[in-house]
Structure 1
Amino acid sequence: MKLPEGVVLLDSLGDLQPDNTYPILVCGSHCGGNRALAAQVKYCHVQAVFLNSAGVGKNHAGIRGLNHYEAENVLACAVDQNSAEIGISLDTWESGIISHMNPKAEAAGIQIGDSVKEAVHKLSSIIQITSSTEKNEAADSPVKDETKNSSSKPELKVQTQTQIDGIDITVTDSITFLNENNAGDIVICGSHGGMSAGHYAQKRGVKAVFFNDAGIGKNNAGVKSLESLSEAGILACTVDCMSAEIFNGQDILDNGIITVCNVLAKDRGITEKMTVKESIKLLK
């Protein structure tokens, strides 16, 4: 599939690298987050980003990133979670319909109801596209990139450890913030429960994981990873996006209400409408 010049597809923001040279990012991740996440996207040379609205959810957490991207001078749009599968960038590109945007996107002439492809076309005259030759020259250049080595590089990978009834758990805002030391952990995270998030959970070898259902959305994409996680031996559940904020692991722990459980979770007695804290107590 040939994409317009300057466009890159990524299923997860966790896959975005500092050496990215594509100014327009079409991503399967949610449009939540904080200023540090928006700064990280800007640090990776992104000028415009298209993300999933994740059901909008509690306190509009699914689109909270729009204001943060605006503050970082990054054009940002969210697509309706029922128009494109969360965690699947190709579907965001092919089927995503804009549901929310920041003022920078509005100023560019993007409108609610536009397809992602239509919106990207409108950016062709205002987004500076680096040619392939310039990209290669930049990659080969021995000149040090002071921006990349700056102390202002955003730091995002944060997790905390706590206990519920003597059970050790790891709390983090994103499944992408885990590392090899989290193998075997019970994880409460603010990520959606889509396929890309499930891949990260498997990669880190966690014991159990609780996600946000991101409004469930098109083709049940917000909870789609649960079955494959069960097959991989990982207990997994999602919580209602209206009960707890996406990209807020602590809120998932404190207020999350279970919406979907995989087979391994059901085998431990976890059911819909339980709180996350009630569910964890069954993991002794």
Structure 2
Amino acid sequence: MARHLVLGSITQLTADNSGCHALVGSHGGLYTAATATAIGVASLVCHDAGIGLQSAGIEGLTFLEKASIPGATVDFRSARIGDAADMLARGLISRVNDAGAACGVAPGMTAADAFVKFQASKRHPAAGDTTLPDGSSEGRHLIAVALNQGGHHNVLAVDSASLIRPADADAIVVTGSHGGLPGGKAANAVKALVRCVVFNDAGVGIDGAGISRLPVLDVRGIAGLTVAAQSARIGEALSTYQTGVISHANGPARSLGAEPGQPLREFIHHLVNQSTCQSICKEPL
């Protein structure tokens, strides 16, 4: 079994990876850390996603600390989110937990050096509580948006874009995921031909990585937009919807009325009340 792994997403880790040192392109939020802890990784390097509202992009470091797992995040200004190879090649460490610091890792160090130090350490994960705080578990939710003529339309909220299903085609989807293009592959932008999809811009970051899904979605005719990292907690779709403020929108999204600086809730309300939307959109299940 490989003792160290470089993966685009925390979702690629499996139970077989227990004891491995992992560097992943995912944000450093609670779900990422809880997944790594449940698997029993020996250490974890992830992306700080612009840190964002309530420091959600690095909140997982504290969670890892509870299980004595060394953890560190890569500065969003130094390497692309969703691109573990780029993080390893040019990433710089922005934050580190106490267990990570005990391995000799410090802010400003290259991610490559930090990863080597973690692998050289003799620390082992402790049995810790891997339960997420209430409301933090990753999942699918429905948001009932009021229609002007009465009744409501369900908008799909998924904490991770990986939870989008082919059956969600034509839906309006709000995610907690970053707007980076996982692995740089166009096929990874979204799994279904949805009508509109919303992401967190993860601080945008180097090479505009945090919004790199948007032009790919534009080509596919899918409305794509992001909310500012400082306006919503990354990894939490309900936060995206409730407090998110639009930061970037592609052509199809702008044609539907999306504008930077607009509260996402306001745009979603406008969108579901358009007659064209009501005749096309399906109720997501």
Task: Indicate the TM-score class for this superposition, using the shorter chain for normalisation.
Answer: 0.7 to 0.9
Equivalent of 2:85 in 82, 87, 90: 90
List aligned pairs for 1:258-269, cutoff 5 A.
258-269=246-257
Corresponding residue for residue 228 of structure 1: 216
Matched position secondary structure for 1:114: coil
Corresponding residue for residue 171 of structure 2: 185
Is 1:70 matched with 2:65?
Answer: yes
* Distance in 1 separating the partners of 2:269 and 2:97: 41
Corresponding residue for residue 270 of structure 1: 258
Stretch moving more, 179-188 or 251-260: 179-188
Residue 186 of structure 1, CA deviation: 1.1
Is 1:56 matched with 2:42?
Answer: no
1:23-71, Cα deviation, whole Å (9 max, x unpaired): 111111111124xx43321333421111111111111111111111112
Gaps of 5+ in 2: 125-129, 147-151, 275-285
Residue 86 of structure 1, CA deviation: 0.5
TM-score, normalised to structure 2, is: 0.82
Alpha carbons 1:8, 1:22 under 8 Å: kept: no
Alpha carbons of structure 1 residues 45 and 126: separation in structure 2 relative to 1, 3 Å: same
Alpha carbons of structure 1 residues 265 and 57: separation in structure 2 relative to 1, 3 Å: same
Equivalent of 1:23 in 6, 20, 43: 20
Corresponding residue for residue 242 of structure 1: 230
Equivalent of 2:145 in 164, 185, 194: 164
Equivalent of 2:29 in 23, 26, 32: 32
1:94-131, Cα deviation, whole Å (9 max, x unpaired): 011001011110111111111111112222332589xx
* Distance in 2 separating the partners of 1:12 and 1:205: 22
Amino acid at match of 2:142: Q
Amino acid at match of 1:17: T
Corresponding residue for residue 139 of structure 1: none
Count of equivalent residues = 256
Alpha carbons 2:158, 2:237 under 8 Å: kept: yes
Paired-residue identity, %: 30
Corresponding residue for residue 42 of structure 2: 47
Corresponding residue for residue 117 of structure 1: 112
Residue 190 of structure 1, CA deviation: 1.0
Residue 88 of structure 1, CA deviation: 0.6
TM-score, normalised to structure 1, is: 0.82
Stretch moving more, 65-74 or 101-110: 65-74
Corresponding residue for residue 10 of structure 2: 13
* Distance in 2 separating the partners of 1:178 and 1:74: 30
Alpha carbons 1:253, 1:277 under 8 Å: kept: yes
Alpha carbons of structure 1 residues 22 and 235: separation in structure 2 relative to 1, 3 Å: farther
Gaps of 5+ in 1: 130-151
Stretch moving more, 183-192 or 173-182: 173-182
Amino acid at match of 1:171: A
* Distance in 1 separating the partners of 2:192 and 2:40: 28
Corresponding residue for residue 281 of structure 2: none
1:195-241, Cα deviation, whole Å (9 max, x unpaired): 02975552233321111111000000000110101212221100011
* Distance in 2 separating the partners of 1:21 and 1:46: 5
Alpha carbons 2:195, 2:222 under 8 Å: kept: yes
Matched position secondary structure for 2:230: coil
* Distance in 2 separating the partners of 1:115 and 1:53: 14
Q: Over the residues paired in the alignment, what is the CA RMSD in angstroms?
A: 2.4
* Distance in 1 separating the partners of 2:35 and 2:153: 33
